[in-house]
Amino acid sequence: RGAAGGPPPTATSMPPSKAASEWKISNTWDVCLERLVVNSGIGFIVGGLAAVVLSRRGRFAITAFGGGFGAGMAWTRCSIDFDKEKSQALKHAEELMSKPPKV
């Protein structure tokens, strides 16, 4: 629990330099899963509407294509987000390794 018995701090409520890496990764996962659900849902809806308007047969295939397109967009964006987190973590590790040890 947070200070004064409140809810625990989240990565979004803390300054970026103070957020623990576990919170950053957890927050990234949350955003990625949310993005997957939203983009897939929008893809299914748009694909379904396109299937109704454009086709008499194969509606399922067009609808599934729309959902897969949305999921692919979410996957790509999540990959970019995780690569960014990884590069920030490596940069921080290099900074820590370059400092001389304190005696």
- What pLDDT digit, counting tens, does each position of 76-93 carry? 999 999 999 888 888 888
CA end-to-end span of the chain: 35
The model's pTM is 0.68
Q: What is the mean pLDDT of the chain?
A: 83
* Cβ-based neighbours of 43, under 8 Å, separated by 6 or more: 66, 67, 68, 69, 70, 71, 73
Rounded to 5 degrees, what angle do the CA atoms 13, 18, 19 make? 60
- What is the rounded CA–CA span in Å between residue 4 and residue 55? 60
Say how many CA atoms lie within 13 Å of 6 toward its Cβ: 6
Choose the weakest-confidence range: 7-11, 23-27, 61-65.
7-11
